[in-house]
Structure 1
C-alpha cells in the first residue's frame, strides 16, 4: 500500500486531515496478503477497518506500532493462532477493538483488561477455549459493549465481576458454556439495552430485576435450564424482543405482558407454561411475531390478536388450545397444529387480495369449512391433514411446494390446474373422498412424494409419471385404479411404492419385480410377474402373442399414407384435366357468404386472383394477398385461400360444406384468425381471412436464414405465442358448440399479428365433432408429417387429442428451435425429444441457442417437458387442451413484460418469401 502519492487523499476508503491520513476503511475487498508493516508509518492513523476480508495470518502484531489507533476492526476474517500475552501493546488510546468472527484460539490474555479508554470489546465467534478473564475485563471501567459469545470456553459459573461494568449497554454472552445462576451483581447494569445469555447451561429462576429493567430492549435467555415462574410484576416497558424459550419455566403468562407496548417479538415456546394466553397480549400494537408452541396452554387465542398489530407470525402448535379462530388478518405464517381448535376456519385468512400468507400448518385439529376457488399466490406450504374440511380441492398458488390434506372430507376430482404447479414437491391427499382420474399433467411437477391413497380415484395410472424423475415416494393404494402399470415407472428411483388394493392388471414393470417392492402390489389379482424368482405369491404372466404390433401399426400407417398420396394425386390429375376443359367461370355464378361486416364484394376479390398477388400454395389450393375496400375509401389486406374441387359437388355436399364453413365463420375468439367470408362456385371455393402481418410462426422459427433480416424470437415472446395458441385451441375443444378439432395444428398454421400475438389459422381439415353423431370422436385422415398423432395410422376414429399431440410438437419447436420433420423418414421431433429426455434428461443442449438465458431455462425446460407429455403415444395419456393452457399460464406472470420483436424492413408481411 503506497500512500506517498500526493493524490492519496482522493482514494476510496482513505480519509485525510491537512493532507495526512487519519482513517482507512477498506472492508469487503478480498485482501489476502498480510497487512504491510509500513501501514503504521502513518503516524496520524486513528481509524482502521479491514473487516470482511480474507486475512489468514495470526494476529498482526505489526499494529502495535500504530500508536495513535483509537478504532480497530479486524472482524470477519480468518486470523488464527493465539492472542499474544502483550496484546496491551496496542495503542493505549484504543476505544474500539473488534476481533469477532475469526479463528483465534487459546485463552484470552489478562492484558486484555489493560486498555484504560476501551469502550467496545468484541471477541465473539472465535475458538477461545480457556477461561474467560472476567476479573481482568471488569477493570475496563469505560466499557459499553462486550461480546464473548460463541466461544468454546471451559465450563464455568457466571462471573459476578461483570457486575462492575456499570456503563455496559450491550452484553452478549451466548454459547460460552456458562453454568450456575445469574448473579445478583448484574442488577447494577442499569444501562443495558441488550442482554443475551442464550445457549448456556444456566439454572435457577430468572431474576426479578430482569423483568423490571427500565432500559432493557432486547432480552435473549433461550436454550438454558431456567426454572420457576415468570415474575408477576413485569415493568420492563421498553422491551422490544423477548426470548426465554427452550427452558423449564412453569406457571402462567403474566397479564402484565400486555403492558409491553413496544414489544414486537414474544418467544415463550418449549417450556411448561399453562393456563390461557392473556387477552391483553392481543392488544399490543407492535407485536409482529409470537411463538408459544410446545407448552401446555389452554383456552382460546386472544380475540383481538392480529387486529391491531402487524402480526406476521403466529405459532401456538402443540398445546391444548381450543375454540374457534378469529382475527390474524396480516399473517405470513400460521402454525396451529396439534391443538383442539374447532369450528369453521375463517375465510378471511384465505383472502387472495390482502393476505401475505406463505405457510399454514393447522393439521390435527377439528377445523371444518371449505376452501375458496383459489388460494393466495404466495402460499408455499399448506398442511391441514386430520381435520374436517370438505368440498372440492382448491386451485393452489403458483409458489406452493408442500400441500398435505390427508384425512379430511375433500371430494370431487383433482383439478388439472393443481397439477400444473411445477413447484409442488410434496402432495398428500390421502384418506379423502376424491373421485375421477389422476390428471395427465402430473408429469410437469417436481414431485418428491405423492400420496393419493384411500380415495375413490379411477382410470389408469398416467404414463406421465415417468417424467417425475425426482419422485421417491408414491402411494396410490386403496383406490379403483385399473389397467396396466405404465412401463415409464421403470425410470423412477422409488424408495417407497404402494399400489395395493386397486384393480390393476398386466405384468408388473421389470424394475419393480424384486423383493424391495414385494408388498407394493398386494390385492391386485390381475397383476403378474415374469418369473417366480421376482416377487412371491404373484402368478407368472402367460405368453402373449405380440407379433410385433408396433411394427404392424407402423406399416398400416405407411400404407394409409401412401393411399392418401395416391388419392390426392388422382384428384390433382382430375383437376388439371378439368381445368384444361373449362374456361374461367362466369362471375355471376359466384356466391358470397359473409360472416362479418364487409365493404368489398366478390368481384373485388376475384379481380385480385392474379399471379402478382400469389404468395403461396398448400395441399388444397393457392393463397393470395389482396387489397380490398375497407369503408370510406380506405383499404385493407386480406388473405384469400382458393380451394379447387376435384369434381362438382352435388347439392347435399355443397350444403354440408357451407354449414361447416358457417360454423367456422361464426367463431369469435381473439386467438383464432377471422374467417371474413366464403365465396363459392361449383368449381372452387374462396375462403377470405383477416391478414396477419407477421406471417407464420414457422417463418420466424425455421425460415429466418432464407427470408433474412428476421430477429430471433426471445423466450417471453415464444411463451406468449404458446399461451395464445393454447387459448385458441382450448376454445375450439371446450367452449365451442359444437366442439371443433383442427386436425392440422402446426407452426405454419399459427399466424402472428404486428405485436406477435398468435392466432390459429387454416381450418381446411377441421372437423366438427357433432357432424359424425359422436361427440367424442371424428373420422378421417389429415395433418402434416411430423405433427400427425400416431393413431392416425391405426384407428378409424380419432378425437381432439390429435390436436394436443400436434400442439405438443409446436411446444417442442418453440423450445428446441428444431423442425417437426426434416423431410426424411427417420427424423421426427417428437420421437427425438422423447429419446433425448429418456437418455440425458433436461440438458441445456436441448434448448434453442437463442433462449438459453439463465433466467429462462427453468421455464423453457418445463414447457419442453409439457411438449413431451402432449406427444405421448396413447391419446389417453395426453392432457386436454384445458390442462395444457393452465400448465402454461403459471409462467405468464414472469413474462408480462414481453420484449417486443424488432420489426425490420418492409419484408415483414404475411407469407412473403
Structure 2
C-alpha cells in the first residue's frame, strides 16, 4: 500500500515570529545571505558536487535555488530528494541555523542514523526514506525534540525501535515501514498525543500483539502495520480511536473476532485487514455509516453478512474474498448508492444475488466467483454505464444472460464459465469494442457464431463444452487480436475457413469434439504464433498440409480421430513438438525419422498402413516387404553359402566368424540400449555421439558428471553432458536431469543455451547442447579461459573490455527476462552465476545449466524447495534460511554477476573475509568512491559513469530485502540505457 499523501512540511509561523521579534523589522542583511550561501556551496562540495545542483553558484541568491526553501529571507528548507547523493550527511548541514525541513529521500546515502542532525535545533520535518541507512535507530533519538514529521522508510535499519521515540511529543507523522527491524516496537508510541500517521509495515518484528497503549492515539487517522508479524487480537480499546480513517493490518497473524465496537467509528474511510487469521463472524457494524472502503480479504472469517449492510451508504469498496463466509448476500447491498467495486469471491455464499445490484450505483467491478450462488444474474449490473468486469464463474447460476449486460459498452472482461447458464449469447458481446476476454465454457449456451463482429480487442474467446452450432464464420478474421480460441465439445460443423489462419496473434486453437468436415486449409496465412492446435474428434479428411511443418512455434498438435489419409508430411518432423497425436486416421507410408523414438510411441496408433525405418515404435519395418516365399528362398541361399564357406574355410574361419558375430551383437545391443529424444533437427546420430565419449574429448567434470566436446561433421561441435546413475546419487541426479530436459526442451530464446537432444540408458544419461566456443564468462573474468581462434581475431586481447562486458550483461538479462516474464509458468533458474553464462564465438551470452531450475506453479507465487541449491557468493540471503523460491533470488545472483563484471573480483572473494556482495555494500556504507571498486584493467574515463551505474545496479539487485530489489525487466532497461549511452 502506498504512503498516505500527507505533508511533512513544518509550520513556519513560529519561525517567522522569532525572526521578526528578535531583530528590527528590516530586510535581512546581505551578510547573513552570503553566510548561508557560503555554507550551501561548502555543502555542495562535500556532497561531491552532484550534477543536479548546477544552479548553486556564488552569483545568485540561495533563495532562488530550486532545492532551497526560504522564510523571511533565511534558509529554512533543504530539498535534496533524488539527487544521486552517495556520501554520508556532512555536519555542515546544521550550520544553517534556521533549518526546519530536510528532505534527502531517494538517494544512496550510506552509514548509520545521521546523528549530525542533532545539531539542527529547529528541525521539524526529516525525510530520509529510500536510502542505504543501516544499524539501529539510536536510543537518544528524542534529542530531535522539535520533530513533527520523520520518515525513515525503505532503508535497512535493524534491531528494536527505541522507546525514546515516544518522547517526541510534537510528532505528527512517523514512518518506519519497509526496513529490517527484527526486534520489538515500543508501547511508548502510544504517548505521542499529536500523532496522526503511523506506518510500521513490512518489517520482521518479533511476534507481538498490538499494544493497548496505541488506543491513546486520539488524533490517529492512518495506521499502517501490514506485514509486521502481529499476533493476538485487535484490542477492544481501539474504539477510542475516534478519528481513525484508515486501518491496514494486512498479512499478519491476528486472531479472534473483529471487535464490535471497532465499527462504531464515524470517520473510518478505509479498512484493510487482509491475510490475517481472524475467526468468527463479521459483527453488525451498521452504525459505521461513514465507511468508504472495507477490505477483509484473505482471512479465515466465517458466518454470514449482517442484514443491515445496506445502511453503509458511503461504501465504495467491498472486498471479502478468500474467506469462509457463507449464507445469503443481504439484498440491501444492492441499494448502496456509492458502491463501485465488490469482490467476494472464494467463499461459500449461497442463495440468489441481490436483484437490484447496479441499479442505484455506478458499479465498476463485480466479482462473486467460486461460491454457491444460484438463480439468475442481476439484470442491471451495468445500469451505471461504467461496468468493466463481471466474474461469476464457478457457481450454480442458471437462466439466460441479461440483454442489458450485453449492451454494456464499457465491459472488458466477462467470465461466466462453469455455471448452468443457457440460451443464446447477447449479440453485444460479439460487437463490444472494449471487450478483451469472453470466457463462457462449461455452460449450456447455444446459437451460432456471428459473421459480423467488431470486437477488435478480443484476445480470449473460450466457449468449450456448450451447444454452439453452425459453421465457423469467415468474419472471424476481424478478431485480429485473438490469442486464445477454444471451442471444444460443441456442435460446430462445416469446413475450417482459411480466414481463421490469418489471425497472426493466435496462440491456442482448440476445436476438438465438433462436427467439422472437409479438408484443412492448404494455405497457412499468419499462424506464426500458434503453439497449440487440437482438431481431434471431428470428420476432417484429405491430406495433412505440408505447411503445418512450417509453423515455427507449434509444440502441441492433435489431429487424431479424423479421416486424414496419405503420407505424414516430412516437414512435420521439423517441428519441436512436445505432444503429437495422429492416431485413428487412415495415414500411410513412412513416418518422419524425427518421430521414430519412444517419445512418440502413442502418436500413430490405429493407422494400419504406417511404417518406420527402425523398430523402436510398434510399427512395421518399411523395408521388410518381402513375401514369405521370398524370405524362405533368401534363407535357403544363405544356408548354402554358409555351408560352402564352412567346407573351404575350416576352423580359423569359424573362429573368426564367431568373434565378429559376438562383437556385432554386442554393438547392436549396446546401441539399442540407448534412447534418443530430439528437440531440434539433428545432423548427427546417437552412434556418432556414443563413439566419441572418450577421454581425448573430455573438457570438464563436476559433481553431476563429465562434459565432452564432440565433432559431429561439417566442422560443427556439440557439448555433451553425461550424468551417471548409481545407488548413492541416483535420486538427486535424476531430478537434475529431468529438470534440465523439461525446461530446455520446451523454451526457445537466443540468450538461452540450446538443448539439441537427450540420449538415455539405464546406466547414464546424455544431454547434447550446442557448443559455445568461448566457454564461460567466469573463465574470461577470472583468468581461466584462453581465447579461441575466432575470438582472438576479433577481440585482440585476452580480457573482456567494458563494452563487451556490458553486452554480455544485456544478453544474460534478456535470457532471464524471458524466463521470468515471458514463460508461463515462469522459470526460476536458482543457480545464476558467471560460470553458467556461456559465450558463443561472437561473445553473445547464453544462460546455461538448468539442473537446479524450477518452474513455478503460478505467477507471483513462492515455492518452498526441500533443500537450498546454488553456489556460495551468489545465494540470496532469504533463500539460505527460508528456501522460498521466487524471481528475486535470480535477481540477487545476477546482481553478483554485475558486480563481477565491473570489479573483476570473484563472487566469493570480495576480500579475505567477505563475499563480493558484502564487500561492495560495505564499501558503499563507508562512503568510499565507487570508482575505487572498479576493475583497473578496463577502467577508462569514457566508460567510468556507465561502470558506476552498473555497480549501483548490482547493489540494488543484492539488497538483502527481496521487495527492494528490481525485477529483471527493470534491470534490463537500465542496462540498455547504459548501452545506448555508450553508443551515442
- TM-score exceeds 0.5: yes
Offset, 1:316:
0.9
Offset, 1:431:
1.2
Alignment deviations for residues 684-713 of structure 1 (CA, whole Å, 9 cap, x no partner): xxxxxxxxxxxxxxxxxxxxxxxxxxxxxx
Q: Pick closer, same or farther for the CA change 1:543–1:16 going to 2, 3 Å.
A: farther
Alignment deviations for residues 376-419 of structure 1 (CA, whole Å, 9 cap, x no partner): 12112111101111233223523222211111122333333332
Offset, 1:192:
0.9
SS of aligned partner of 1:377 = coil
Offset, 1:443:
6.5
Q: How does 1:273-672 map to 2 (within 5 A)?
A: 273-326=349-402, 327-328=404-405, 329=408, 330-351=410-431, 354-373=432-451, 374-393=453-472, 394-395=476-477, 397-435=479-517, 436-438=519-521, 440-441=523-524, 444-532=527-615, 534-541=616-623
Q: How does 1:190-269 map to 2 (within 5 A)?
A: 190-209=266-285, 211-234=286-309, 235-269=311-345
SS of aligned partner of 1:16 = strand
Offset, 1:168:
1.0
**C-alpha distance in 1, partners of 2:331/2:164?**
50
Offset, 1:463:
3.7
2:463–2:486 Cα contact (<8 Å) kept:
yes
Q: Pick closer, same or farther for the CA change 1:839–1:107 going to 2, 3 Å.
A: closer
Q: Pick closer, same or farther for the CA change 1:237–1:65 going to 2, 3 Å.
A: same
SS of aligned partner of 2:449 = coil
Q: Pick closer, same or farther for the CA change 1:384–1:431 going to 2, 3 Å.
A: same
Offset, 1:475:
1.2
**C-alpha distance in 1, partners of 2:466/2:592?**
37
SS of aligned partner of 1:249 = strand
Q: How does 1:7-26 map to 2 (within 5 A)?
A: 7-18=61-72, 19-22=74-77, 24=79, 26=81
Alignment deviations for residues 419-448 of structure 1 (CA, whole Å, 9 cap, x no partner): 233322222111122233145326643223
1:144–1:170 Cα contact (<8 Å) kept:
yes
2:581–2:602 Cα contact (<8 Å) kept:
yes
**C-alpha distance in 2, partners of 1:464/1:63?**
74
2:456–2:480 Cα contact (<8 Å) kept:
yes
**C-alpha distance in 2, partners of 1:58/1:469?**
57
Q: How does 1:57-76 map to 2 (within 5 A)?
A: 58-59=136-137, 66-75=144-153
Q: Pick closer, same or farther for the CA change 1:515–1:117 going to 2, 3 Å.
A: same
SS of aligned partner of 1:124 = coil
Aligned residue number for residue 798 of structure 1: none
Alignment deviations for residues 128-152 of structure 1 (CA, whole Å, 9 cap, x no partner): 2320442232232221111111233
**C-alpha distance in 2, partners of 1:504/1:443?**
27
Offset, 1:236:
0.7
**C-alpha distance in 1, partners of 2:549/2:366?**
44
SS of aligned partner of 2:212 = helix
1:407–1:430 Cα contact (<8 Å) kept:
yes
**Residue among 90, 95, 98 paired with 2:172:** 95
Q: Pick closer, same or farther for the CA change 1:502–1:396 going to 2, 3 Å.
A: farther
2:166–2:192 Cα contact (<8 Å) kept:
no
SS of aligned partner of 1:257 = helix
Give RMSD over aligned pairs.
Answer: 3.0
**C-alpha distance in 1, partners of 2:67/2:501?**
55
**C-alpha distance in 1, partners of 2:166/2:342?**
45
Offset, 1:17:
2.0
Alignment deviations for residues 480-521 of structure 1 (CA, whole Å, 9 cap, x no partner): 223332333334333322111122222222222222211111
Aligned residue number for residue 921 of structure 2: none
Aligned residue number for residue 673 of structure 1: none
> Which ranges of structure 2 fall in alignment gaps of 5 or more residues?
1-39, 45-55, 83-104, 627-769, 773-810, 815-984
**C-alpha distance in 2, partners of 1:128/1:10?**
44
SS of aligned partner of 1:137 = helix
2:166–2:188 Cα contact (<8 Å) kept:
no
Offset, 1:208:
0.5
Offset, 1:56:
5.5
**C-alpha distance in 2, partners of 1:417/1:217?**
50
1:163–1:186 Cα contact (<8 Å) kept:
yes
**C-alpha distance in 2, partners of 1:55/1:123?**
16
**C-alpha distance in 2, partners of 1:24/1:473?**
59
**C-alpha distance in 2, partners of 1:56/1:477?**
64
2:198–2:222 Cα contact (<8 Å) kept:
yes
Q: How does 1:842-857 map to 2 (within 5 A)?
A: none
2:210–2:234 Cα contact (<8 Å) kept:
no
Aligned residue number for residue 833 of structure 1: none
Q: Pick closer, same or farther for the CA change 1:470–1:24 going to 2, 3 Å.
A: same
SS of aligned partner of 1:202 = coil
Aligned residue number for residue 672 of structure 1: none
Alignment deviations for residues 497-553 of structure 1 (CA, whole Å, 9 cap, x no partner): 211112222222222222221111111122111122x11244435589xxxxxxxxx
**C-alpha distance in 1, partners of 2:247/2:141?**
27
1:226–1:248 Cα contact (<8 Å) kept:
yes
Q: Pick closer, same or farther for the CA change 1:378–1:55 going to 2, 3 Å.
A: farther
Offset, 1:478:
1.4
**C-alpha distance in 2, partners of 1:184/1:103?**
34
Q: Pick closer, same or farther for the CA change 1:242–1:538 going to 2, 3 Å.
A: farther
> Which ranges of structure 1 fall in alignment gaps of 5 or more residues?
545-837, 841-853, 858-913
2:210–2:235 Cα contact (<8 Å) kept:
no
**Residue among 125, 141, 163 paired with 2:218:** 141
Offset, 1:267:
1.7
Name which structure has the greater RCO, CA cutoff 8 Å, separation 6+: 1
Figure out how many residues of one structure are paired with residues of the other and give that number: 543
**C-alpha distance in 2, partners of 1:461/1:36?**
74
SS of aligned partner of 2:255 = strand
Q: Pick closer, same or farther for the CA change 1:112–1:79 going to 2, 3 Å.
A: farther
Q: Pick closer, same or farther for the CA change 1:542–1:360 going to 2, 3 Å.
A: same
Alignment deviations for residues 298-339 of structure 1 (CA, whole Å, 9 cap, x no partner): 111122221333111111111111111122213111011111
2:438–2:462 Cα contact (<8 Å) kept:
yes
